[in-house]
Amino acid sequence: MRTKKEYLIRYKDGNLYCDLADIWIDPNKPVKKALITHAHFDHFTFGCEEYISTKETAILLKERVGDNIKIKTFEYGEEFKINGINVSFHPSGHILGSSQIRFIFAEEKWLISGDFKLQNDETCKPYEIVKTDYLISECTFGLPIFKWDESNKIANDISKWITNSPEKTSLLFCYSLGKAQRLLNEISQTNFKGNIYSHGSIHKMNNSYKKLGIDIKDTIKIENKKKIDELKGSLILLPPSLSKGSYLKKFKNIQTAFASGWMSIRALRKRSGYDKGFSISDHADWDGILEVVKMSEAKNVFFHHGDSEALRKYLVEKESINVLLFGK
């Protein structure tokens, strides 16, 4: 076995790093050069000299943080060289523009899964199977208690939740980039035909998706002066950061829900403080992670972003796959 220094990609200061290419992947501190898997803020930090991402991710990032960043972009599947190492982006199915990143050096293939899901999502490219020798996979939901329902079932549940309380205003909290657009896409295919409003941050992302050619249902940007009566029976999409505090005071007679994979656990649902939880996620569930491990044909697997104890033990015992641990 090699020492950790000898791996092509390793953990350095809590981030993924490739020594030979001298490049960081989704670093949480300013560095010289950073590959960005997708435009969520927990995968991006200000102050890097140069960013490299897919075209869509670059556009979304600029919409969110302004034009003052230097980003080089590549198409999915397009190979480019960094210090002699072949690198390419491949769709990961997480949100629009999200990618897995493949490294090839001296015939050895490495794949960083990024955040990914296998479930159907019409607002982004589906997950692409990429074969590799080494896989670095996320494992946010790495327990078999996580098993996602079809997203149209969840959308129908949401539709029923709204229409069963016609006298109320239904506030659905969800991440403003990715989840909100996926939900809008799904909900527009249900029986719910009432008005949908969205918070400014979500509205902005909807427009970015539209510009990138994704068909997203029109929503009304929620204005401060909206009359309460007009909102009765309608759906309002809001970012989770507004669920606590004074923002909700302006609404009368509301019901609240949170759309997140964590909502499949009753204790978390109860602790979250929302009336209801809809279990829908843009990450892979247990079966999804196992499937990706198998399809990638990786002989060696690393996990990050989550508690990997169960997956490690399961893969070693049941699938005889070598699961490695990053040294700190």
Applying CB under 8 A, the residues found at the interface with another protein are 143-147, 264-271, 275-277, 286-287, 309-310, 313-314, 317-318
Residue closer to another protein (CB basis): 51 or 286: 286
Q: Which residues are CB-neighbours of 83 under 8 A, at least 6 positions away? A: 20, 21, 22
Residue closer to another protein (CB basis): 124 or 311: 311
Q: What are the distances in angstroms from CA 59 to CA 66, 176, 209, 212, 263?
A: 10, 16, 10, 9, 31
Token pair, residue 145, equals 């208690």
| Cα–Cα distance measured from residue 128 to residue 122, given in angstroms and rounded to the nearest whole number | 15
| Distance in Å, CB of 254 to another protein, minimum | 11
Residue closer to another protein (CB basis): 72 or 313: 313
| Distance in Å, CB of 145 to another protein, minimum | 4
Q: 136 near 9, Cβ under 8 Å?
A: yes
- Per DSSP (E only), the strands in 30-106 are 33-35, 50-54, 71-74, 80-82, 85-91, 99-105
| Distance in Å, CB of 181 to another protein, minimum | 25
Residue closer to another protein (CB basis): 124 or 158: 158
Residue closer to another protein (CB basis): 270 or 299: 270
Q: 169 near 237, Cβ under 8 Å?
A: no
Q: Cα 198–200–204 angle (5° rounding)?
A: 95
Residue closer to another protein (CB basis): 2 or 318: 318
DSSP H helices in the chain: 55-65, 151-163, 179-187, 200-211, 228-231, 266-272, 286-295, 309-318
Q: 17 near 37, Cβ under 8 Å?
A: no
| Cα–Cα distance measured from residue 53 to residue 9, given in angstroms and rounded to the nearest whole number | 18
**β-bridge pairing 99-105 and 108-112:** antiparallel
| Distance in Å, CB of 304 to another protein, minimum | 17
| Distance in Å, CB of 247 to another protein, minimum | 18
| Distance in Å, CB of 275 to another protein, minimum | 5
Residue closer to another protein (CB basis): 211 or 270: 270
| Distance in Å, CB of 191 to another protein, minimum | 18
| Cα–Cα distance measured from residue 158 to residue 311, given in angstroms and rounded to the nearest whole number | 31
| Distance in Å, CB of 256 to another protein, minimum | 9
Residue closer to another protein (CB basis): 227 or 244: 244
| Distance in Å, CB of 47 to another protein, minimum | 27
| Cα–Cα distance measured from residue 187 to residue 154, given in angstroms and rounded to the nearest whole number | 9
Residue closer to another protein (CB basis): 252 or 313: 313
**Other C-beta atoms within 10 Å of 167: how many?**
7
Q: 37 near 98, Cβ under 8 Å?
A: yes
